[in-house]
Amino acid sequence: MAVFYDEIPDKFLDWLARQQMFWVATAALQGHVNVSPKATPDCFHVLNKNQVWYEDLTGSGIETVSHMREPGNGRITILFHAFEGAPRILRMWGTGTVHEFGTPEYDALIPPEKRKAGSRAAIVIDVHKVATSCGFGVPQYQFLAHRSQLERFCDNLEQHDRASDAASDIEKKSKGIKAWWAAENTTSFDGLPALLSAHETVITPKNTYDRNAPRPKAQNGAKAGQVAQPQTQSGSGKIFDVKLLAAFSLGVMVTAAYVRVAGLRAP
């Protein structure tokens, strides 16, 4: 049964901090509904019981930002659900505000020493309703690792920006992330305005991406892009296997004893 709240209860804060991903749903007033997965470490933050924000990374689309900026719109829903442990779904309904890279509001939330590669905006959400529900229909999954491809791709672009800012190299600037924003992120799928200033700022993008850090690899021989199978069973799965083996062994022993007794009684 769903339970509704007018603010984020304290009892869910630790659980929210442990989740590895969440979903964002928005819609144009006269256009498409959009749902986006978000799954980078330390991306979602709770400011207080009625306000949260997340770091919005670069992508080929920019629907959420455009819907936040559409006059009379700004509606947004955040969805979390448990992949492991006790089942739970948690939704937050609210209205969002966009703070682009290069603005004072963005810098206050995401200083350069904490900025992820490709970060283009901070989405601040004023939450007016929270709900939890059972989550019984959500399957269990084992978390393996966060993918590094997006931040690596964005860091490659940002290297061109850093090089062009240092040497006034127009060719490198044309290959940078600001050029990508200008080409791909200034309007939405429905033609709504999206980024307004990030692609024109004179601020050089810096980030925390470590190019020398170990990169997650596919497991069990899976090729890139395939779903890797977990290498270990959950605790409940192991217990079930032990019980099944014990029951099978007991059945074999009972059958053997019966055959032995029956053979002794035979004329």
* pLDDT by 10s per residue, the chain, length 267: 899 999 999 999 999 999 999 999 999 999 999 999 999 999 999 999 999 999 999 999 999 999 999 999 999 999 999 999 999 999 999 999 999 999 999 999 999 999 999 999 999 999 999 999 999 999 999 999 999 999 999 999 999 999 999 988 888 999 999 999 999 999 999 999 999 999 999 999 999 999 999 888 766 555 544 444 444 444 544 444 445 455 555 554 545 554 454 444 444
- Picking from 175, 200, 225, the residue at the C-terminal end of a domain is 200
> Does 56 share its domain with 154?
yes
3-state secondary structure 43-74: CEEEEECCEEEEEEECCCCCHHHHHHHCCCCC
Q: Cα–Cα distance between 259 and 263 in angstroms, integer?
A: 6
Q: Cα–Cα distance between 73 and 193 in angstroms, integer?
A: 13
> Does 16 share its domain with 98?
yes
What total number of domains does the chain contain?
A: 2
Q: How far is CA 124 from the centre of its chain?
A: 16
Residue 213 lies in a domain: no
Range of the domain at 255: 233-267
> Does 71 share its domain with 115?
yes
**pTM (predicted TM-score):** 0.81
Residue 48 lies in a domain: yes
What pLDDT is stored for residue 218 in this prediction? 61
In this structure, the strands spanning 3-5 and 33-38 are unpaired
Q: Cα–Cα distance between 54 and 110 in angstroms, integer?
A: 10
What pLDDT is stored for residue 256 in this prediction? 54
Per-residue tokens: 11 = 């009892």
User: Residue 220: helix, strand or coil by DSSP?
Assistant: coil
Q: How far is CA 77 from the centre of its chain?
A: 14
> Does 46 share its domain with 103?
yes
- Helix, strand, coil tally for the chain in percent (to 5): 35, 25, 45
Q: Give the residue ranges of DSSP H helices in 37-169.
A: 63-69, 104-109, 149-167
> Does 81 share its domain with 151?
yes
> Does 138 share its domain with 252?
no
Residue 144 lies in a domain: yes
Residue 226 lies in a domain: no
